[in-house]
């Protein structure tokens, strides 16, 4: 008899005793959450035992639950190893969620506006506990996702899994691949640093090449929100990154998964007869049930992957944050993100429309159309020589094109700019000029030259004396002082009026500076054709108590150039340009950086 006017938990206690009533209550809740499995079922599954009741409770979550209804309830035994899937599909899916979660964390501290976006980045790094880790994970996760999705596609191609009846699964997969690319690319702009601005500027300018011009210009305008990327462009990229592209990605992830349920996982090619698809007809003895084997295996894989990512982000990787975006300053060595380098490489082959738009579009169309074009029935490797050749040809040409896309390939930079970049470029792409990490204490004020390191041992003093001779009170000295004053804004230094003289690098006091000067000398010597009779110098001045100014100076004799390359005579020598009186014409180039005691360049790179 109930003590309340309706049946209640208290009645259960009365009837069964407290312990049993509570256990059954909890058991019911667990069963609702798992859509069918009670505590005993879960325990058996985790112990690797056979289910003790019929019908098999481990199938019920697949039929009654939301999450598992998109997973098959059993796999073929041959599909549960590392080969043939390498778990790449599952990890791709996992990264969708991984990126969503870390991304939401970052969204809390981010405003898509050029005025504050960079400040937000700094705040995430300086004022948000775990902010740096989250940003690193998000960024590294994005790179890993691009890599894994690409590998997943290559694997699918290799095993011929796109063949009938899975053509559309492949098709939706290509959509997901490009959604992943674009998701990663649109995220590039958000930190609003130099890396972001210029990588995206390069990417977006490809769009501009779309023929006819009216289409290209309109698309470009739509994407950038103006002639240049500014507030509108940033907002658009942000919305693409957090709303539009993820929406496409989620929808097609659903489509992709549904197709996998419908068609099952394609077996390793050699396990089936040619032209047969037995994925849905798994013999009872070949079945591996999703619960528990596949499920525990998948959870283990995401555990391992996440652990690797966390380890990398704690010790080995930090998401880059360069200087604030500046449309006026184009950094040397600007490239598109690595997965778009192949387009940048292709662009170096010639016409912007042909290589920047038509070529990638054709590649995209081939990707989409491939399963419909290749309708040979066999999935065996031996029968698919042509397809595999195509695959390897694609992979190697993409590798070559990507290499061609890097700044090292086919970009003509003058020798002096190369050397300045080598010596003093801002930290970018996790590299920086070699003089930046020199400890502050090892930058004693003074004027040092590479001539000291060109000279033989014992001749160093006289080499320096000769240079002093050549500089002070001479035309060259005046030219250098003038150049320093007007172009480098360093009028404090005046070769005629001060007593600053070139002096040897104090080895004991500044070994690191000496080492850098030696590298500097090697670099100048390497360019001895273009920098004819050239020498370099480093001028260190105190600017504030904890701030030094470092001017890097290159002086060389002018030679005849053609398209930026030295003109050589029949003996392979350069042709110097001389004044009427036979003296050489000097070229001087100066670059400078400031180094603060606490800048600690060596710490983060």
Q: Report if residue 213 touches another protein, rule: CB under 8 A.
A: no
Among 311, 366, 389, 393, binds another protein (CB under 8 A): 311
| Tally of CA atoms within 13 A in the half-sphere of 226 that contains its CB | 8
Measure the CA–CA gap between 136 and 130, rounded to whole angstroms: 10
Is there a contact between 454 and 528 (Cβ–Cβ < 8 Å)? no
Q: Which is nearer to another protein, 122 or 445 (CB)?
A: 122
Among 83, 97, 392, 403, the residue binding another protein under the rule CB under 8 A is 83
SS3 130: coil
Residues in region 549-588 near another protein by CB under 8 A: 549
The reply on whether position 293 binds another protein by CB under 8 A is yes
What is the C-alpha to C-alpha distance for residues 100 and 79, in angstroms, rounded to an integer? Answer: 28
Rg (CA), the chain: 33
Selected from 306, 376, 454, 468, the binder of another protein by CB under 8 A is 306
Minimum CB distance to another protein smaller for 34 or for 194: 194
C-beta of residue 503 within 8 angstroms of C-beta of residue 448: yes
Selected from 112, 292, 371, 536, the binder of another protein by CB under 8 A is 292
The answer to the question of residue 43 lying near another protein (CB under 8 A) is no
Tokens of 207: 């769009």
- Our finding on whether 503 is near another protein (CB under 8 A) is no
- DSSP symbol at 545: T
For another protein, the closer CB: 86 or 422: 86
18 vs 97, beta carbon nearer another protein: 97
Query: Which of 179, 595 has the CB closer to another protein?
Result: 595
Binding piece for another protein, criterion CB under 8 A, among 7-15, 78-86, 90-98, 530-538: 78-86
Which of 74, 75, 118, 157 touches another protein by CB under 8 A?
Answer: 118
What helix, strand, coil percent values describe the chain, rounded to 5?
55, 10, 35
Q: Is 285 in the site for another protein (CB under 8 A)?
A: no
Q: Does 331 bind another protein (CB under 8 A)?
A: no
Report the nearest approach of another protein to the CB of residue 10 (Å).
Answer: 38
* Residue 546 sits in the site that holds another protein (CB under 8 A): yes
Site for another protein contains 491 (CB under 8 A): yes
Strands of the sheet with 532-544, listed across from one edge: 446-449, 532-544, 547-557, 586-596
Residue whose CB is less far from another protein, 115 or 583: 115
Residue of the chain from 230, 417, 599, 605 that contacts another protein (CB under 8 A): 599
Number of residues that bind another protein (CB under 8 A): 56
Which helix or strand (DSSP H or E) is residue 71 part of? none
Contact flag: residue 595 with another protein (CB under 8 A): yes
The reply to whether 406 sits near another protein by the rule CB under 8 A is: no
- For another protein, the closer CB: 429 or 597: 597
Among 26, 33, 300, 465, binds another protein (CB under 8 A): 300
- Examine residue 97 and tell whether it contacts another protein (CB under 8 A): no
Told to check if 115 binds another protein by CB under 8 A, we report yes
CA dist list (Å): 534 to 415, 472, 523, 555, 564: 11, 18, 11, 5, 17
What would the two tokens of residue 66 be? 């939301």
CA-to-CA dists, residue 275 to 153, 230, 375, 379, 382, angstroms: 21, 55, 10, 8, 14
**Any contact of residue 547 with another protein (CB under 8 A)?**
yes
Task: Tell me the C-alpha distance between 288 and 290, whole Å.
Answer: 6
**Contact between 496 and another protein per CB under 8 A:** no
Q: How far apart are CA 193 and CA 110, in angstroms?
A: 14
| Largest Cα span, the chain | 123
DSSP 382: G
For residue 129, state whether it binds another protein (rule: CB under 8 A). Answer: yes
Phi, psi of 536 (to 5 degrees): -115, 160
Token pair 């499920």 is at which residue? 295
Cα dihedral value 163, 169, 170, 175, nearest 10? 170
Residues engaged in binding another protein (CB under 8 A)? 46-48, 80-83, 115, 118-119, 122, 125-127, 129-130, 132-133, 292-293, 296-297, 299-300, 303-304, 306-307, 310-311, 314, 323-324, 326, 488-492, 543-547, 549, 592-600, 603-604
């Amino acid at each position: 008899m109930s003590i309340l006017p309706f049946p209640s938990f208290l009645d259960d206690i009365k009837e069964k005793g407290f312990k049993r009533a509570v256990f059954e209550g909890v058991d019911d809740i667990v069963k609702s959450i798992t859509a069918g499995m009670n505590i005993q079922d879960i325990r058996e599954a985790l112990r690797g035992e056979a289910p003790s009741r019929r019908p098999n409770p481990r199938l019920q979550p697949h039929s009654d639950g939301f999450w598992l209804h998109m997973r098959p309830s059993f796999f073929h035994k041959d599909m549960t190893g590392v080969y043939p899937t390498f778990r790449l599909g599952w990890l791709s899916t996992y990264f969708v969620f991984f990126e969503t979660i870390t991304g939401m964390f970052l969204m809390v501290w981010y405003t898509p506006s050029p005025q504050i976006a960079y400040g937000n980045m700094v705040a995430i790094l300086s004022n948000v506990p775990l902010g740096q880790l989250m940003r690193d994970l998000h960024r590294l996760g994005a790179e890993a996702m691009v890599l894994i999705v690409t590998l997943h596609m290559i694997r699918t191609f290799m095993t011929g899994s796109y063949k009938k009846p899975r053509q559309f699964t492949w098709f939706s997969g290509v959509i997901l691949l490009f959604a992943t690319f674009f998701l990663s690319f649109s995220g590039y702009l958000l930190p609003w640093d130099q890396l972001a601005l210029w990588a995206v500027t390069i990417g977006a300018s490809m769009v501009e090449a779309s023929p006819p011009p009216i289409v290209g210009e309109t698309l470009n305008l739509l994407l950038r929100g103006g002639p240049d990327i500014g507030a509108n462009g940033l907002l658009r990229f942000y919305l693409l990154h957090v709303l539009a592209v993820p929406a496409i990605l989620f929808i097609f992830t659903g489509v992709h998964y549904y197709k996998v349920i419908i068609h099952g996982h394609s077996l390793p090619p050699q396990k089936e007869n040619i032209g047969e698809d037995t994925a849905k007809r798994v013999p009872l003895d070949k079945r591996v049930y999703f619960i528990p084997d596949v499920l525990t295996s998948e959870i283990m894989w995401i555990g391992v992957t996440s652990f690797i990512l966390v380890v990398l982000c704690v010790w080995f990787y930090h998401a880059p944050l360069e200087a604030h975006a500046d449309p006026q300053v184009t950094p040397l060595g600007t490239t598109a993100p690595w997965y778009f380098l192949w387009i940048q490489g292709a662009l170096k082959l010639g016409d912007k429309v042909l290589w920047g738009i038509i070529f990638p579009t054709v590649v995209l169309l081939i990707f989409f159309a491939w399963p419909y074009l290749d309708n040979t029935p066999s999935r065996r490797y031996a029968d698919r020589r042509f397809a595999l050749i195509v695959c390897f040809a694609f992979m190697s040409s993409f590798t070559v094109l990507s290499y061609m896309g890097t700044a090292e390939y086919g970009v003509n930079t003058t020798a002096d700019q190369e050397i300045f970049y080598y010596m003093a470029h801002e930290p970018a792409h996790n590299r920086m000029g070699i003089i930046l990490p020199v400890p502050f204490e090892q930058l004693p004020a003074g004027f040092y030259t590479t001539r000291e390191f060109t000279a033989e041992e014992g001749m160093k003093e006289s080499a320096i004396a000769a240079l002093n001779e050549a500089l002070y009170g001479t035309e060259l000295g005046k030219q250098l002082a003038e150049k320093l004053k007007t172009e480098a804004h360093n009028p404090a230094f005046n070769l005629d009026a001060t007593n600053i003289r070139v002096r040897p690098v104090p080895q004991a006091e500044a070994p690191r500076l000496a080492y850098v000067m030696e590298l500097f000398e090697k670099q100048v010597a390497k360019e001895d054709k273009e920098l004819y009779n050239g020498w370099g110098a480093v001028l260190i001045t105190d600017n504030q108590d904890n701030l030094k100014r470092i001017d890097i100076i290159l002086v060389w004799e002018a030679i005849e150039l053609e398209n930026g390359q030295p003109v050589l005579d029949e003996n392979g020598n350069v042709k110097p340009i001389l004044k009427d009186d036979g003296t050489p014409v000097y070229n001087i180039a100066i670059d400078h950086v400031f180094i603060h005691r606490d800048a600690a360049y060596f710490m983060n790179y």
